[in-house]
Structure 1
Amino acid sequence: MTRFLVILSIIYIALSIYGFQAFRTLFKSAWWHWAYAIAFFSVWAVLIVKLVTADPNTPMRSQIAIAGGVFFSFFLLALFLGFFLLLEDVVRLSVYGFNKIAGVTGEGGKYFPSRRKFVSGIGLGLAAIPFGALLFGMYRGKYNYKVLTYELEFDDLPEAFDGYQITQISDIHSGSFDDRDKVAYGVDLINEQQSDVILFTGDIVNDKCEELRPWAAIFSKLSAKDGVYSVLGNHDYGDYTQWPSQEAKAQNLEDLKNLQREMGFDLLLDEHRFLERDGQKIVLMGVENWGRGGFKKAGDLQKAKSGVAKDDFKILMSHDPSHWEDEVISDDYHFHLTLSGHTHGMQFGVEIPGLIKWSPVKWRYKYWAGLYNEMGQFINVNRGFGFIGYPGRVGIWPEITVLKLKRKKSA
């Protein structure tokens, strides 16, 4: 950690000093120069203090996340400024070389051209876009809940379930929350959908059960006619923090399972439930986390479907969408609808319905946000209710998904 902080500090300070050249070109007042220096130094100092004094055995605290988010915003500001200054300096050096060889001098007999205000202005203006977006994402974006509604048609949906409504949420990450009113508003918004069932697809904490306890009363208010069901995500196993012993880690997982049950969540651990209506049924299945690329592969799909008939209508809850891609769609059973989360849409991207849907996470996950259909099977990848790491969202907003099941009408 110490080496990482030293390297990070050197890069940040170097970028800050280099980027200051553009700032100095545009603003001549010493007050502005001091404001620049104080702002960049303060952001760096706060982050270093937070990281150095942090206890690695405690859950990630919101103060550390906020300090990191502000630091990253300033880091990108300096990086963008540095990029434009570098382009300008390449041109200036080329002109200097030509002037030196040709013996051409500019104003005051100088061979080396001065910085141009318009280049610095363009650099600062463009750099301000990600800088402002990241700060706005921390201030407003992380609780900017959106309700997304989809209607799905199936030939073999039991008639009694025509119009059945599901609300899906995912990736609560309770250890990152810092505003009880906003979280309570999000829970109320979920209940306002008045769905028949609420399904939570994993990652209720960042690391430890203790993160959830302050928020348990709020999430206990989730209510639906057919109940609230959940599965585990990769973060729920406590794999990303230090434990005094394996016994303590195992006890944390048991405590988390029990707390979810106390909250009224029916936690599915490689098992299934039958949802019944007017003598007909559909199957709700839930597996433990199964993920590609180093993530825990605890889920057992075969165990979960034991006792389920091939022609049953099946809804599967599986936290990581790579499970659907690698195992589910090729299984000999037909899983009508799979619900996942995990990716968060990277909490950063651009989405304009019908025009563009982009996030850097698409380079890792083929199915990273929204609804997909392969081989007659659907998956919805929820963008997440909470956040982790960067304490905000830009362009990829926290999501409450409403899925309406419809029986396809005969021609």
Structure 2
Amino acid sequence: MENITLLIGIVIVTALVFDFTNGFHDTANAMATTISTGALKPKTAVAMSAVLNLVGAFISVEVAATISKGLINEDAGVDPAVVLAGLVGAIIWNLLTWLAGLPSSSSHALMGGLIGATIASVGIGAVSMGAVFSKVLLPAVVAPLVAGIAAMLATRLTYRISRGTEEKDVAKGYRGGQIASAALVSLAHGTNDAQKTMGVITLALISGGVLGADADPPLWVIASAGIAIALGTYLGGWRIIRTMGKGLTDIRPAQGFSAQTSSAVTILASSHLGFALSTTQVCSGSIMGSGLGRKGGVVRWSTAGRMFAAWGLTLPAAGLVAAGAAFLTTRGDWGVTAVMVLTVAACVAIWIASRREPVNHTNVNDVETDTAGEPDVLTTAAQAVSPPPVGAEETERTEHAEKASAPAS
């Protein structure tokens, strides 16, 4: 580490800040369903997820290799200033979508930022478009569909197996399964997402001449990335947990177990293959699949539509912010300073805006409402026409009473 310059040091710190935002932005991936069904208390859930994120960071470096060696051509003139600009684009987009409570992809924000900064400063020839298509764009389309279909089928199977069983007994039986599957998703998240920061730091070290072109992430890089994402995970990310736990569909324990198991299998398989997919998109697809898999279950397509729009905007939006940042960072020390000042100012402004309507562990399970402040009409209609599961009449009456007495958020 004795050859690390000030600029590379700034890149490393900024990469760890991104990793931290990735942690609280994506906590919902593992814990939203567990929290929404009451299988774990909110603070307990995020603490468990944080520990397993840290453990997962040490399992593999295949995804890190995709970022550091496959996405950007280091020989085309990419330097640490370009990597810094890419990270700035990813951080700003992460915070904006967190403020809006939208479960967009931290992974694609990072990819978009790196691609946008590279194109703006070096040219499109420095980007390996084949790797972008095969290991980023294609998994972005396929993985949520696969996870969603798997979750839908798994949900139908679990309800078929438990047919005739009292709802409260079903909930009790799947509580342990939910906790175990949530732990597996947390482990998978650390394995996949922490590696992306490892890859960025390694790319900066390679582009700055500190490491050789084919180097894997050093141990200190793996450890620091794991710690940063674990700390971010423990912070919570309650806005997105509310959206995924209450906003997409009404999740019951059997659905939560099915969604989380499908997500974990998909993420771990892709990590092994080196696919830098979005854990957010996989888990969102699984949750929607579980909603479609339960008889009488409904997906809130208005919320899903806003989420899909955010997915489509993530790569270009993060890329545009990063391109603007690259215009300044490549101008020298004054440009780097200006970018860091503007980034800090933007982060502070977003945080202040979030304080106007705070979401935390005490209100994360409040009823999701639409823009008019009323309960989602699709869910209301579905409850009106769909008979409750066997043995769940009393549960439904209690839920309706609680919704009627809850204040509008």
Report the structure, 1 or 2, having the larger strand content: 1
| Pairwise TM-score range, normalised by the shorter structure | under 0.3
Who wins on radius of gyration, i.e. which is larger?
1
TM-score w.r.t. the length of structure 2 is: 0.23
Higher relative CO (CA 8 A, sep ≥ 6), structure 1 or 2? 2
As a proportion of its length, which structure holds more helix?
2
